[in-house]
Structure 1
């Protein structure tokens, strides 16, 4: 069996598979040997990815649903908001995986090994990967396997979790407004945290209800599900069946994952800090980062040079400081922002594509006290 490769990709989730897919579509990599290692290949529908986008996009053929209106709800402000020219798009992971694998498997220079990774070590000019069954060597390694220890054992940067349980439910009668996605509904009991319901109607009879928290501590699974039942009851949805479940926990932290990169090793996806620290959104950022990485690899060999600093990292840090230290105030913060700022400005800001003037509009839209306190504390820390 071949053991030496030009590139090794650890993990065949969204980031690893997307990187491999982009390599398979670029002739520059046709003479490069590429190994993908994961303990499982067929992951099924293990994820639902959503993102907003202006106009048509690269992944539209894989989008299962899209919406041009979103609902934001809280006790102080509620509104159905048109978001055109943006649309909010949903991709279910099973079709995404199948489509990308079909292309990757058509290229003879790609190899997949189903195995678990025990460790990887950077040597002088190569990376050594030890799996349960073999040893491999790669000139460059891209790691998408998140190691929570690296950010749990530090206190320089705040850490909260975006954790959730979701039910796809189906009703016998038309029960949902399929034209509108519920972006955040903070009318659920907050219980000292930042808690909301996220609702994605697939059609008039089927919808995903996801009970979501931004908080430090996780809940027992029964509590998430109890809150979904309560929310459905409050919406007078009593007769339904659960057709699918999902759950997840996304770290929201400004920890500098890029510091873990080296000349021959690049961490990607959530493991590389590609998750937007202040929102937990990953898919769109991963799509952009993998595009950039393909072009980078054609020009550079030192992977430490891939990461670029930006003002948005500092914005995320301040926001997470506030949410971590004043978790019960999250509903008020988001309500103020969605009430006072234009939705298109919010999207541009969260996409890290906003101008300084647009940044200031967001700053003016949130309650100033906590953010000023967090800013001054960081400034003089």
Structure 2
């Protein structure tokens, strides 16, 4: 049975960024590190997007950027600049092709492609079981998400941001490659919060995603029907071929996942609650969390005490309370925000960078009563 100082379970964004951060730090050069993942990471299985001011650490890997976005719906059709931000698209395959060879090259890191079937914390170590062998870790970082955890309580509502995306190529030039469709609520809402998300790579190529903020998933055919209808109506029934498909479901909840962390077993990524609760954006948050986690590891303090607190969690809680009770209000809230406030200010708020005055401007943009009711219910 092999023993390691650190075991990282899952080689997604959180796992690979953490492995790379540990591998390149001289401080951890004497630590033995194991990275486990069931996949060989050779497929373009996901797309991450985020907004950022100026240059960033992932710019060499970015597939496409946009300086303008479109937000549409029943009361709004708005094309706008997001300066000083740039919206950036990072393909999973480009991320893997860059970080996986780096991680494998570190002399103190071992890569094993196997599926983890069990994690058992013991008195002084953690036993990690795969389909064919066992490993012992002094500290384990796990990105294995257990969706039943937040469902066992009632204090924090749990929605899902779920989506199906098609990377399509059209016969005619129908896309505006200079502008990303951030949210298009013109699709039938059906009592929920539903929108289309379009990322044009060129005037004939785009990722078209049907996205919902909802408690339960739909049948696959419902997502596909919505995408087909949207392409037909929005792009003049143009002929197209589907090049790639993707599906995702991200928990939207303010549930305190960090309470499940111990001094030996620490959850990372979505499993650790690193997704932005009100939007589901995870990659940028993860890239900010990892350096802080690594710096904390150097202090030698108890790992269970590492937790990032923020007043923005309260804003997220109120919005999710509203969407959980009255899911149909989603499009009205987001349309009002983008209609009455600058897109750059909204993105700054969603990135947890605004001051109190700016936050007051954001929360007063939509109709106030749903937020007032949610506030009183949350307080009392």
**Structure 1 length-normalised TM:** 0.97
8 Å CA contact 1:48, 1:90 repeated in 2: yes
Deviation at 1:153, TM superposition (A): 2.1
Q: What is the aligned partner in structure 2 of residue 293 from structure 1?
A: 293
- Offset from partner CA, 1:329-354 (integer Å, 9 cap, x none): 11000011111122222112111111
Is contact 2:172–2:238 with CA below 8 Å preserved after alignment?
no
CA–CA separation in structure 2 for the residues paired with 1:222 and 1:300: 51
Matches within 5 A, 1:101-140: 101-140=100-139
**SS state at 2:270 partner:** helix
SS in 1 for 2:105: coil
Whole-angstrom CA distance in 1 between matches of 2:67 and 2:274? 26
Q: Which residue of 2 aligns with 1:75?
A: 74
Q: Give the ranges of 4+ consecutive aligned residues of structure 1 lying more than 4 Å apart after TM superposition.
A: none
1:188 alignment partner in structure 2: 187
CA distance in 2, matches of 1:308, 1:238: 47
- Structure 1 gap segments, 5+ residues each: none
RMSD across aligned positions (CA): 1.1
* 2:171/2:238 contact within 8 Å kept: no
Q: What residue number does 1:94 align with? A: 93
Q: Cα distance, 1:300 vs. partner? A: 2.8
2:281 paired residue number: 281
Matched residue of 1:145: which SS?
coil
How is 1:322-341 mapped onto 2 (pairs within 5 angstroms)?
322-341=322-341
Which 10-residue stretch deviates more, 269-278 or 209-218?
Answer: 209-218
Instruction: Summarize deviations over 1:67-126 as a string: whole Å, max 9, x none.
Output: 000000011112101011110000000110111011111111111122222222222332
Quick one: distance in 1 between partners of 2:354 and 2:42?
36
In the alignment, is the contact (CA less than 8 A) between 1:253 and 1:277 conserved in 2?
A: yes
Q: Distance in 1 between matches of 2:333 and 2:35?
A: 42
Q: Within 5 Å, which residues of 2 pair with 1:47-62?
A: 47-62=46-61
Q: Secondary structure at the match of 1:245?
A: strand
Deviation at 1:43, TM superposition (A): 4.7
CA distance in 1, matches of 2:318, 2:156: 10
User: How many angstroms does 1:42 deviate by?
Assistant: 2.2
CA separation in 2, counterparts of 1:196 and 1:17? 31
Judge which range, 360-369 or 180-189, deviates more.
Answer: 360-369
SS of the residue 1:329 aligns to? helix
Question: CA separation in 2, counterparts of 1:87 and 1:237?
Answer: 31
Residue in structure 1 matched with residue 5 of structure 2 by the alignment: 6
Alpha-carbon separation, structure 1, partners of 2:245 and 2:293: 34
CA deviations on 1:10-31 (whole Å, 9 max, x unpaired) are 1111111111111122222221
Q: Number of matched residues?
A: 379
User: Is residue 228 of structure 2 the alignment partner of residue 239 of structure 1?
Assistant: no
Q: Name structure 2 gaps, 5 residues minimum.
A: none
Query: SS state of the match for residue 149, structure 1?
Result: coil
Query: Contact 1:181 / 1:201 at 8 angstroms: preserved in 2?
Result: yes
1:164 equivalent in structure 2: 163
User: Equivalents in 2 of 1:84, 1:310: separation in Å?
Assistant: 25
- The CA deviation string for residues 201-231 of structure 1, in whole angstroms up to 9 with x for no partner, is 0011100110111111211111111111111
- Structure 1 partner of 2:208: 209
Partner of 2:268: 268
Distance 2:125 2:366 in 1: 48
**Taking structure 2 as the reference length, what is the TM-score of the superposition?**
0.97
Contact 1:115–1:132 (CA<8 Å) still a contact in 2?
yes
